[in-house]
Structure 1
Amino acid sequence: MTGHTPRHAVVIASGGLDSTTAAYWLADRGSRLSLLSFDYGQRHRKELDFARRIAGHLGAHQEVVDLSGLGRLLSGSALTDPAVRLPDGHYTAESMRATVVPNRNAIMLDIAVGMAVARGADAVAFGAHAGDHAIYPDCRSSFFDLFAETAKAGNEGFLADGFEVLAPFIDLAKADIVEIGRQIGVPYQDTWSCYRGGEVHCGRCGTCTERIEAFSLAGVEDPTEYARAGAEAAR
């Protein structure tokens, strides 16, 4: 986790646990925030409503970028293609490869960097963590380091002084993130993780399974409402 405190950070904000904690972590350190959310045709676009809630709690400006056409172009993922079955179970299971959206983080980060340059922000932040690494190649340190170099090279002469691309949790487990959030008062009841996007969290999909485990391992009370059958199956 970086020791530098950005003056103004553009945070990729999904409305989920990780990105919300990253936003609160930066706000706690005194950074001004701009939240950047994406509608990329995801079946759980309900998360955007929760990102809006978080922006309200933080008093931060939020932009929502319409990339819904990507759902058609990036077919083959259970998150964007209704023909692909959404798997249940833990992130590390082979079946969870079906939830990979090709190049998603690179696309979002590129837009975030462009917004940061245009608005004079000195940081871009996203909430990737160590638990994502096994399945998602664009959540790994190797990708992050190369992207940060590319962003700086591609905008040389236009970046704010000290500009950084931050992934403060990239080496942490999700339980560690929950504990950080507990310490700084993240309202986890106002975050959304479930890939199914129903009325309540299903308790069975990969993100629900990971969320339940993270609160349990951190010893933090989970404020999430899960569908009964799903919660019992996940536990």
Structure 2
Amino acid sequence: MKTLVVCSGGLDSVSLAHKVAAEHTLIGLISFNYGQRHSKELDYAAKAAERLGVPHDIIDITAIGQHLTGSALTDDLDVPDGHYAEETMKITVVPNRNAIMLTIAFGLAAARQAEAVAVAVHGGDHFIYPDCRPAFIDSFQTMQNHALDGYASVQLFAPFVHVSKAEIVRQGAACDTPFAQTWSCYKGGLKHCGRCGTCVERREAFHLAGIEDPTDYDDPDFWKAATSGFKAEEV
């Protein structure tokens, strides 16, 4: 299956790129600059494409992103610390982000005669992000079937949509994903902060997966207090 992977440069999407390269035919990575808080992660997406020997396109949608206000990922708002599933993490929602990006990705896939677009949404995203839920994935596929009817047939490949981040770590390890060459932290410092929701989730995922975390954190032990009393959902 000739597949174009939407890759942010994070742990999930880079693991997905390696999984697709191992199991299907990876034809390229596509990333988006939407005016996010920092673009450090895009450097890691570029490294993944180089490592896997495929083209990498960075689509500039900053003109759109500047209107998607109210998120700590696009505005000058503090990124909250703590577990990813806490109510405070809703401030990291960028409205309709996945719908916008996937629409563009499907257009590119159709133009390049790809058979699938792969996206790394996973079970841990469902609590906060409506455009990461299975119902969205199914509905988006239906919409694209109509949008490309008679021109192309492109599948939305979301193999992690029903699994936990710990399972992504396991599958990524099985595909030799170099986890140290991925970036998750929302704060974009010299090292992962270890305190923001995505750092806590990342650190916890390695722990639950039973795989050593190679990430260098400013606060490597904060995740223990942040996850205390919270039972991670293993799906």
Scaled to the shorter chain, the TM-score interval is: over 0.9
Between the aligned partners of 2:26 and 2:211, the Cα distance in structure 1 is 28
Identity of aligned residues (%): 50
Between the aligned partners of 2:71 and 2:191, the Cα distance in structure 1 is 22
SS at match of 1:220: coil
Displacement of 1:157 = 1.0
Displacement of 1:234 = 2.2
Question: Which residue number in structure 2 is paired with residue 138 of structure 1?
Answer: 131
Q: Which amino acid aligns with 1:24?
A: H
Q: Which amino acid aligns with 2:162?
A: D
Question: Which residue number in structure 1 is paired with residue 232 of structure 2?
Answer: none
State how 1:114-193 maps to structure 2 within 5 Å: 114-160=107-153, 163-193=154-184
1:151-179 deviation digits (Å, cap 9, x = unpaired):
1111111114xx31110100000000100
Displacement of 1:85 = 1.7
* Aligned mate of 1:48, from 37, 42, 57: 42
Unaligned stretches of 5+ in structure 1? 1-5
Contact 2:200–2:222 (8 Å) recurs in 1: no
SS at match of 1:9: strand
Question: Which residue number in structure 2 is paired with residue 197 of structure 1?
Answer: 188
Contact 2:5–2:26 (8 Å) recurs in 1: no
* Aligned mate of 2:70, from 71, 76, 89: 76
* Aligned mate of 1:57, from 51, 57, 65: 51
* Aligned mate of 1:87, from 80, 83, 92: 80
* Aligned mate of 1:101, from 94, 110, 121: 94
1:94-144 deviation digits (Å, cap 9, x = unpaired):
000000000000000000000001110010010000000000000000001
In the superposition, the TM-score normalised over structure 2's length comes to 0.93
Between the aligned partners of 1:58 and 1:205, the Cα distance in structure 2 is 29
Q: Which amino acid aligns with 2:8?
A: S
Q: Which amino acid aligns with 1:108?
A: M
2:22 aligned with 1:28 = yes
SS at match of 1:69: helix
Q: How many residues align?
A: 224
Unaligned stretches of 5+ in structure 2? 225-235
Between the aligned partners of 2:196 and 2:26, the Cα distance in structure 1 is 34
Q: Which amino acid aligns with 1:111?
A: I
